Structure 1
Amino acid sequence: MNKVDVAIIGGGPAGLSAGLILGRARKQTMIIDEGRPRNAVTREAHGFLTRDGISPSEIRRIAKEQLRVYPSVSHAEGTIVSISGEDGNFLLMTAAGMKITSKKLLFAVGMKDRKLGIPGLDEVYGKSAFVCPYCDGWELRDEPLVVISRGAALMHFAPLLSGWTQRFVVCTNGPDELSEAERDELRDHQIPLYDQPIRAILSSEGMVNHVVLENGTEIPCTGIFFKPELVPGTDLPQVLGCRISETGVIAVDEFGKSSIPGVYAAGDASSLMHQSIAAAASGALAAAAINGELNKEAWQRKQ
């Protein structure tokens, strides 16, 4: 049986950042990670001060190296399949049968991509097809792009992307879910709109060159931004009774505390700000809150 103060489920920027804060606070901490990060396809992470352009895998490698300084922080590779208990005494079980008892929990497991079923998308994802212009817009500035999105998400994204390039067309891959006023808005900005299903994305060595529609239309482009369909990395927070927001993430306060005592969340598990630096920051905040809670509980027991 492994006994820790804090079990962190997920070893991305949020979980590793939390581990650093807790290690420095002298808390027994275990980071449990299945080793299949969502950004594994990403070659470079951007917008992370002092780490701009570094690969996500290198960020993880450096983080783990720095965490070795703190003997109270340990790592385990595995998938948590069950959690029981309550604040101060949680019992976690991995798929391999390892048991962990923990006083507090931090979910930093993030989200997972649901397959969109577009032929050729997997070949370009992370190479010339991306989801976040803050992360990859600079590299595609002023380039001819295809945006794959629809409805309200599209009408938020189109004005945002226009700061990097105004040379883009929209493919909704089926019904556009727009009002006539919204279609007029796109026309006013000279943005072509195609609602035909996408037959295939053509590329060479991961670099897109055309998007082909079912009616045979070929749209040349050098990059793609698309709206991913995301699902939670685990359903365990819901099993524990954590409140889930309307956007599908764990509802937390400004310090990452969920509706269940002793349970916290950070990173993509509790936010729509899918950037490494935002995840790392939220992990640090949650860890500080957890440490403060543990210290206060220990202080009160001595009274």
Structure 2
Amino acid sequence: MKKQLLDVAIIGGGPAGLNAALVLGRARKNVAVIDEGRPRNAVTREAHGFLTRDGISPSEFRRIAQEEISAYPSVSFVADTAVSIAGTNGQFQIETAQGQAFESKKVLFAVGMKDRPLDIPGLAEVYGKSAFVCPYCDGWELRDQPLVIIVKGADLMHFAPLISGWTNRFTICTNGPDELTDAQREELSQHGVPVFESPIRSIESNDGIVQQVVLENGTTVPCRGIFFKPELVTGSDLPRAIGCDITEAGSVVVDQFGKTNVPGVYSAGDAATRMHQAIAAASMGSFAAAAINNELNLEAWVRNTSEI
């Protein structure tokens, strides 16, 4: 198997990986972006909050990004999935599901996060159409509408005041015990926020637009939108496999420039932060790329100095 030699292997082609590829391409580094083309936000019709791209579809965002990056011939795109990684700084070996092999001096994991299976009947049918996870991304479209918020415990006490900036017509469904204190229940009551602990039987919808949430106790909650807290896992097991430190929440531990505890390995975007926004991911990818480029240039400088 002939290996392709790279300066940087970028695993993941979302905003973080693409912005890193742009920066590294402009820095004249030989880069491959390895991505299977199945982003977590593929269910979303529109992405918001990204200056100059507000309301764009995720697929169109990627198309434009790849078109811009194609101006830099040292960057290639590999439609495949990285399945194994080994080696050390300066000589990492990466293999893909389709049998391609790469040897790379540095690695950037921009693998994002992925959802665990949605276990509420009917939620998959409305996810990305009228059910969302981030009000900063989708709250404007649901402003002043009656909403159901599926969340419990400490997350609920964070989310209730947050969502009130978009609408005061919302009901909490905790899908089981609410995990609240008496004081927290009283606080929600004072603000007129209904809270139902009964498990959710189903979400009824029409062409992806939620109509009502049906609880096991027979209660029905009419609504036109849902926000919920997803169960997330890192988009790839490869960071853990190469020895990267991982937080309890599943994020890769990085410094301010995306460097992990493993020499030569970086991470950026949703995989390395809980600030899951496209514009934040792109920013992290840019900083990580600059740090990687600086490291490569310094190593070459020192190597050339020793040869003089």
Aligned match of 1:75 in 54, 72, 77? 77
The residue that corresponds to 2:296 in the other structure is: 294
Letter of the 2:13 partner, please give it.
G
TM-score, normalised on structure 2?
Answer: 0.97
The offset of 1:189, in angstroms, is 1.2
| Percentage of identical aligned residues | 68
d(CA) in 1 for partners of 2:187 and 2:90? 54
Q: Is the 8 A contact 2:12 2:109 kept in 1?
A: yes
1:156 is aligned to 2:162 = no
Cα distance in structure 1, aligned partners of 2:187 and 2:240: 40
Residues 194-213 of structure 1 aligned to structure 2 (within 5 Å): 194-213=196-215
Give structure 1 stretches of 5+ with no counterpart.
none
Indicate the residue corresponding to 1:92 in structure 2. 94
Cα drift, residue 175 of structure 1 = 1.3
**Alpha-carbon deviation of 1:116?**
2.8
**Structure-2 separation of matches of 1:125 and 1:165:** 20
- The answer to whether the 8 A contact 2:118-2:124 is kept is no
1:253-279 deviation line (CA, Å, top 9, x unaligned): 011111111110010000111111111
Any unmatched runs of 5+ in structure 2?
none
Q: Which residue of 1 aligns with 2:10?
A: 8
Give, in whole Å, the separation in 2 of the partners of 1:230 and 1:258: 21
Give secondary structure in 1 for the equivalent of 2:86.
Answer: strand
> Distance between the aligned counterparts of 1:191 and 1:101, measured in 2?
56
- Paired residues, number: 303
Matched, 1:27 2:17: no
Aligned to 2:60, what secondary structure does the other structure show?
helix
Distance across 2 between alignment mates of 1:274 and 1:263: 21
Give the counterpart of 1:189 among 191, 195, 205: 191
The Cα shift of 1:246 comes to 3.1
Alpha-carbon distance in structure 1 between the residues aligned to 2:283 and 2:79: 23
The letter for the 1-side match of 2:22 is: L
- How does the TM-score come out when normalised to structure 1? 0.99
User: Deviation of residue 148 (structure 1)?
Assistant: 0.4
C-alpha RMSD of matched pairs (Å): 0.8
Other structure's SS at 1:289 match: helix
Instruction: Give the whole-Å Cα distance in 2 for the aligned partners of 1:144 and 1:228.
Output: 20
Q: Aligned partners of 1:251 and 1:181: how far apart in 2?
A: 35
Deviations 1:181-210 (A, max 9, x none): 211121111110001110110111100110
Deviation at 1:248, TM superposition (A): 1.7
AA aligned to 1:128 is S
CA distance in 2, matches of 1:246, 1:213: 32
